[in-house]
Amino acid sequence: MRKQEITRKPRSRLQIALAAVALSLVVAMALPLTGYLAHDAGLAWAAESDEAAKDSDDVNPRAEYWRAVRQGTEGYSAVPGPEAGVLIQNGGENWRNTRNGPLFFFGATMIIAVLIAIAIKHMVKGTDRLEGGRTGRTVTRWSAFDRVIHWYVAISFIVLTITGLSLLFGRSVLIPLLGKEGFAAWAQIAKPVHDYLALPFAAGLIVMFLLWIPKNLFKSYDFQWLKSLGGKHAPAGFMNGGEKVFFWLLFFGGIAITVSGFYLLFPNLGWVRESMQLAHIVHTASTLFLIAISLGHIYLGSVGVEGVLDGMVSGEVDEAFARSHHNLWYEEVKDTAKPATGSSAADTSTAAQT
């Protein structure tokens, strides 16, 4: 009898130990679940409190406080400066969603669509050749100063376009290609180049506008050109209807870019954040639009139409080009036509042999 009791005691102790370990494990697993219970109980209590608040005239002062903070209500701050008393400026989130949402999507879509349209046009139709080929006689179209200001503005715009698009689409396009370190190195170059070139570009743009406004005032025959979309023998003066439309789009778009860019370049002049956010949206949207239409201008002015580029390189255009694309202006200057010289003459002889 005593031997049986002796043998049972170790077993009971072992069972107690195992039961304690099992209980500890169960408690250890169950304790975290109490957080969910407390959370659910808290939600239920909050819902009851909200219902009670609705039934009463009492308003949670903390809710009113944070509502005022999110709405940008200004409080007291010992730090001087515009909006120093505003704790949270909720417009920043709206600006970020606009920039990374519709502005990003529609801007990229517009530029890609223009590039696709240009590619399709060139594959289907190719370069618009001069009827009957070049004559070998030229008329002066652009002065040296006109050409210098054009190329100054054009090259500045291309550099600003490359650096600006790099900053806008860098996270989505360049980081996957260059990596974070590579993009960071490029951004350190692109950002200051974009900023420092902005004012010289704006100055050149203003000079070009003042210089070319008289050439781009609309005349009655320009609407005939636009109605026929520049069809065969459409009437045109020094600038045709399409070129005038592009000029005025560039004019108003350039004003939008310049004014909004001024806001962004000089934030320390006391602008409020809402005005800078709006300036950034205007700056980006107008720039993307001008980039899209400039792609068409670059194509037509280089390989799209034969003879256009000659005017901005040498200042002279072939008589056949002037007669075909600017017939009213050609009638004014045809008596000043002269034989082509230099590379133009070589191109003429080559065209004649072929």
Tell me how far apart the alpha carbons of residues 353 and 350 are, in angstroms, rounded to a whole number.
Answer: 5
Tell me how far apart the alpha carbons of residues 205 and 267 are, in angstroms, rounded to a whole number.
Answer: 23
* Residues 139, 326 contacting (CB under 8 angstroms): no
Q: 288 is written with which tokens?
A: 């993307």
- Along the chain (354 residues), what's the average pLDDT of each consecutive run of 10 residues? 48 62 60 52 56 56 64 61 63 80 91 95 90 89 95 95 92 88 91 94 95 94 87 86 94 94 84 82 94 94 91 93 92 83 46 37
pLDDT at 198: 94
Chain centroid, CA 19 distance in Å? 69
Model confidence pLDDT, tens digit, residues 182-222 = 989 999 999 999 999 999 999 999 999 999 999 999 999 99
Tell me how far apart the alpha carbons of residues 4 and 21 are, in angstroms, rounded to a whole number.
Answer: 26
* Residues 318, 288 contacting (CB under 8 angstroms): no
pLDDT at 44: 58
Residues 6+ apart with CB under 8 A from 352: 133, 134, 136
Tell me how far apart the alpha carbons of residues 17 and 14 are, in angstroms, rounded to a whole number.
Answer: 5
pLDDT at 108: 92
Model confidence pLDDT, tens digit, residues 41-95 = 555 555 555 555 555 555 566 666 666 666 556 666 656 666 666 666 667 777 8
pLDDT at 213: 95
Tell me how far apart the alpha carbons of residues 77 and 84 are, in angstroms, rounded to a whole number.
Answer: 6
pLDDT at 43: 52
State whether residue 345 is helix, strand or coil.
Answer: helix
- Nearest-Å Rg of the Cα atoms of the chain is 36
Q: 37 is written with which tokens?
A: 């219970």
* Residues 348, 340 contacting (CB under 8 angstroms): yes
Count of other CB atoms within 10 angstroms of residue 10? 9
DSSP string for 249-262? HHHHHHHHHHHHHH
| Pairing state between β 137-140 and 316-318 | antiparallel
